[in-house]
Amino acid sequence: MTDRTNQFASLADFTPRAADLAAMRQYLHAHPELSFEEQETAAYVAARLESWGIEVTRNVGGHGVVGVLRQGQGGRSIAIRADMDALPITEATGLPYASVTPGKMHACGHDGHTAVLLGAAEYLARTRRFNGTVVLIFQPAEEAGRTSGAQAMIADGLFERFACDAIFGLHNHPGAPAGAILTRPGPMMAASDTVTIRIRGRGGHASRPHLTVDPIVVAANMVMALQTVVARSVDPTDTAVVTVGTIHAGTVVNVIPETAELGLSVRSFQPKTRLLLEQRIREIATSIAQAHGASVEIDCEHGYPVVLNSEAETAFATEVARELIGAAQVSTCPMIPGSEDFSYFLQHKPGSFLRLGNGERSAILHSASYDFADASLPVGAALWARLAERFLAQP
């Protein structure tokens, strides 16, 4: 090992603390709280940070907790974020530390993300082998989908109150080996938008369709035509998704209804593609409705933007990961059509979002059978500690 490798946090520093990390994670797993309800989780996090001598600010953007560690005279600052909220899912793992709250479960691994950052915080507070400021962001309501915890913390002055030069975050990655690290510069996770199309026809008796304008027929034509948006309007080298997820129309078989409604999930990785998708959906829906003599109302609700990783910060994080676990365990992350509100932080600060392997046999995210892999905890904690030390050792 090189001298530089020995200067900074290593996996060996965290392996002896694997049981402590698992205990924290399993406690959080057993006590899940939904978006905007993370009061007890936030209290647990704040108490841990304060017990290690870390300066704590509560209630940032709701139940958000921010810890600050300062050391030396360095003027640089790094922020690292973990999310804390759970999902409205009834757990089916049968684990001894399964959720004690029916209908609520850490089915996305935010218990693990929180434990990883707590583990790094304890180490950094104890060793203080850095020169500058570490900002530890424990965010609520990532799963909210619209007005999320990231937006709320930013609106509450996060970056004005806790200045940083760059921000980093991670998410576990089922299907990748436990403890592996995946990185990707540029677009990594998709923007997520919701489109609602309301069709108004003219209802009537099912036996006299010629006297009606059937909104179900209009909707059926729209569903088929919308499949051409990605296939024929988006550059084949780009990636996008248009999924019709809901159709609502009618209540009985002998009545042609007045209205029908389609609900679409739309995903994209480029801002120009995001605009193109909305434009083409509007054009197709409007023209088909007009061709059938129906009218249409279209609402497009923009959700989380693209997770757009900065080139320099991603290269730096990749280098640190390779130092930590070896180049063979660090790979390029595929583009992920799921979405993440860490994207809002990246609109304000340079930074990078990483993925941490959760095991090749891991249940998928948002599954009642999912569980965060405790074997990944020491790697995640060591990654954050080393990243902070390396970042704050730079001139």
Could you give all domains of the chain from N- to C-terminal order, each with its CATH number? 3-189+306-391 (3.40.630.10), 191-302 (3.30.70.360)
Q: Cα(302)–Cα(272) distance, rounded to whole angstroms?
A: 14
Mean pLDDT estimate for the chain? 96
Instruction: List CB contacts of 294: < 8 A, sequence separation 6 or more.
Output: 199, 200, 201, 213, 215, 218
Q: What is the pLDDT at residue 4? A: 55
Phi-psi region of 159 (alpha: psi -120 to 50; beta: other; left: phi over 0): alpha
pLDDT tier at 76, thresholds 50, 70, 90: very high
CB of 385 within 8 A of CB of 13?
A: yes
Q: What is the pLDDT at residue 69? A: 98
Q: Cα(42)–Cα(120) distance, rounded to whole angstroms?
A: 17
pLDDT tier at 5, thresholds 50, 70, 90: low
pLDDT tier at 72, thresholds 50, 70, 90: very high
User: In degrees rounded to 5, what are phi and psi of residue 192?
Assistant: -125, 120
What residue type is 278 in one-letter code? Answer: E
pLDDT tens, 300-359?
Answer: 999 999 999 999 999 999 999 999 999 999 999 999 999 999 999 999 999 999 999 999
pLDDT over 60 at 131, yes or no:
yes
Q: Closest Cα partner for 178 from 372, 311, 335, 44?
A: 372
Q: Taking the model in full, what pTM does it have?
A: 0.92
Q: What is the pLDDT at residue 260? A: 98
pLDDT tens, 237-268?
Answer: 999 999 999 999 999 999 999 999 999 999 99
Active-site positions read: 85, 142
Q: Regarding predicted confidence, which is higher, 215 or 1?
A: 215
Residue 392: count of CB within 10 angstroms of its CB: 23
Distance in angstroms between the alpha carbons of the first and the last residue of the chain = 23
pLDDT tens, 189-210?
Answer: 999 999 999 999 999 999 999 9
